[in-house]
Amino acid sequence: VVRAAIAYIDDRGLPELTMRRLAATLGVEAMSLYKHVSGRDNLLDTVVESVVDELSGDPQVQLEPESDWQDYLRRLAHGLRRIALDHPQIFPLIATRPPAAPWIRPPLRSLNWIEAFLSSLRSQGFTDSQTVAAYKAFTSFLLGHLLLEVAHYGAPIGPEETRREGDGLPLGDLKGYPTVRALAQQLSTNTAAQEFESSLENLLGRLAAIRSGKP
């Protein structure tokens, strides 16, 4: 039911999703969707929830962390990154939809994952306030990085057009922006994978510092 919506957004894009069109791809005649879901907004919320829960099916991310916390956070971060890259059209929705409670932060989002995150850290030497600080830093890092990575090649892909690396450079329009022009090549090459790794390691180091002392 909701799987069809995910598939639809994945290859037609969010703005193309329409109750009538979605119903059409399901063979069903139109607005009998309202028997299964209570409106468009509700449908989108369900889509977000369902995509986030793909984490549960990810063998690389186990819910109960018996290894150390750094390893657990690394696997969790990579699991979320995989989701973002699998659904570049949906991820901004995960980031943007207002959460039920103000402290439920994207992209972790579900109480199951937040509970796992918090209890894992707390059981491994983090005090309460250190755990909360780690949660906030972790979500903030993931959101910023993944949103930008996904936007790099995800968002502007329309139904028919495709883009190549280094494409869309308005080199002629860069008069007056000499530095931008000089660095255009490096700016447009996608190094997101390495950035993700090094930023993640930096964050883990920062959390380790938080754990053993200062805040």
- Count of residues interacting with its own copies (CB under 8 A): 61
Residue 197 CA to residue 113 CA, distance in Å, equals: 21
Q: Which stretch binds its own copies (CB under 8 A): 20-28, 42-50, 67-75, 97-105?
A: 97-105
Please tell me whether residue 29 binds DNA under the rule CB under 7 A. yes
- Judge if the upstream peptide bond of residue 88 is cis by omega within 30 degrees of 0: no
Q: Which stretch binds DNA (CB under 7 A): 30-38, 50-58, 113-121, 168-176?
A: 30-38
Please tell me whether residue 93 binds DNA under the rule CB under 7 A. no
* Least Å from the CB of residue 37 to its own copies: 19
- Contact 61/79 with Cβ under 8 angstroms? yes
Please tell me whether residue 63 binds its own copies under the rule CB under 8 A. no
Please tell me whether residue 39 binds DNA under the rule CB under 7 A. yes
- Contact 84/150 with Cβ under 8 angstroms? yes
Please tell me whether residue 30 binds DNA under the rule CB under 7 A. yes
- Contact 135/118 with Cβ under 8 angstroms? yes
* Least Å from the CB of residue 14 to DNA: 10
Please tell me whether residue 162 binds its own copies under the rule CB under 8 A. no
Which residue among 2, 4, 40, 85 contacts DNA (CB under 7 A)?
Answer: 40
* Least Å from the CB of residue 12 to DNA: 11
Residue 34 CA to residue 85 CA, distance in Å, equals: 30
Q: Which of 91, 106, 95, 98 is nearest to 10 (CA)?
A: 91
Among residues 61 and 133, whose Cβ is nearest to its own copies?
133
Query: What SS3 class is residue 13?
Result: coil
What element of type H or E holds 206? helix 192-211
What element of type H or E holds 60? none
Binding site for DNA (CB under 7 A): 17-21, 28-32, 34-36, 39-41
